[in-house]
């Protein structure tokens, strides 16, 4: 069931999302070649705790980390470890969220460790732009399919592909609520977007084929063909006459809305 947030609940969402965005930016700023992904995870854990919030991924469905940290051909759900080292030229997806006041924030960004090659940069640029196109389609009166359609059209027009098995989602008291928000789809289809909904829009885009596999650890999702993948995510609020990016701060989105 889709949960509609009251004005008061929306304030709680803003706070949870503000901390989530700050944690993501903090993680991105601390990426360094030679660092273990678990070290980066620990930094974000400490940061979220210092804000008086709770890392909402930790323990959810049994996930061990504060953040999902996914390198290169890992699309999502990379488990932070003390053996995986971040290397120069890696693309590093961080997906992290915080819970405070009973509500959740959720956001993600794919960062570059040092200089990355042009094709990787193009994948990051296109995926990020597709997120803002998805957000622009996420307005009251539109349908969920309008979001996926906008993301898919744009990414495929640049020769990239959209992951099918994982989607965005409603977010609120629970990290994952209805509706599912696919990054592909048909305009004008799906549940209607109405004021008071808060949803996480999160394009997961592959350099080549969109097929993915989950490793034996039960979490790590990689591209089947070994191509790169990028992941950008904002939690947004559908409001009367406008859509507000609640996880603003790790980026400068205003000009695109």
Residue 52 burial (10 A CB sphere; 0-12, 13-18, 19+): exposed
73 versus 106: smaller Cβ distance to Mg ion? 106
CB of 23 to Mg ion, least distance (A): 14
Give yes or no for residue 17 binding Mg ion (CB under 5 A).
no
Long-range contacts of 148-151 (CB under 8 A, 24+ apart): 148/181, 148/182, 148/183, 148/184, 148/185, 148/186, 148/190, 149/184, 149/185, 149/186, 149/187, 150/187, 151/183, 151/184, 151/201, 151/203
Sole window of 28-36, 39-47, 98-106, 218-226 interacting with Mg ion (rule: CB under 5 A): 98-106
Give yes or no for residue 23 binding Mg ion (CB under 5 A).
no
Q: How far apart are CA 205 and CA 90, in angstroms?
A: 16
Q: How far apart are CA 6 and CA 13, in angstroms?
A: 10
Binding-site member from 9, 73, 106, 146 for Mg ion (CB under 5 A): 106
CB of 232 to Mg ion, least distance (A): 11
146 versus 202: smaller Cβ distance to Mg ion? 202
Binding mask 163-202 for Mg ion (x = CB under 5 A): -------------------------------------x-x
42 versus 166: smaller Cβ distance to Mg ion? 166
Contact residues toward Mg ion (CB under 5 A) are 106, 200, 202
């Amino acid at each position: 069931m889709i949960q509609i947030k009251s004005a008061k609940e929306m304030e709680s969402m803003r706070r949870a999302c503000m901390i989530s965005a700050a944690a993501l930016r903090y993680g991105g700023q601390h990426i360094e070649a030679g660092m273990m992904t678990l070290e980066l995870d620990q930094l974000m854990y400490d940061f979220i705790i210092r804000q008086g919030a709770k890392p909402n991924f930790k323990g959810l469905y049994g996930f061990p980390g504060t953040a999902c940290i996914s390198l290169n051909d890992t699309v999502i759900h990379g488990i932070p470890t003390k053996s995986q080292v971040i290397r120069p030229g890696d693309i590093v997806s961080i997906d992290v969220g915080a819970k405070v006041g009973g509500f959740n924030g959720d956001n993600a960004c794919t960062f570059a460790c040092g200089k990355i090659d042009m094709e990787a940069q193009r994948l990051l640029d296109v995926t990020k732009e597709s997120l803002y196109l998805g957000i622009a389609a996420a307005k009251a009166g539109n349908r969920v399919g309008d979001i996926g359609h906008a993301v898919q059209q744009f990414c495929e027009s640049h020769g990239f592909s959209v992951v099918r098995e994982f989607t965005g989602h409603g977010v609120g008291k629970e990290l994952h609520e209805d509706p599912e928000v696919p990054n592909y789809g048909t305009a004008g289809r799906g549940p209607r977007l109405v004021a008071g909904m808060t949803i996480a829009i999160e394009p997961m885009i592959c350099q080549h084929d969109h097929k993915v596999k989950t490793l034996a650890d039960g979490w790590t999702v990689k591209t089947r063909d070994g191509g790169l993948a990028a992941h950008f995510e904002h939690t947004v609020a559908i409001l009367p006459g406008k859509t507000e990016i609640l996880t603003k701060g790790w980026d400068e989105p205003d000009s695109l809305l």
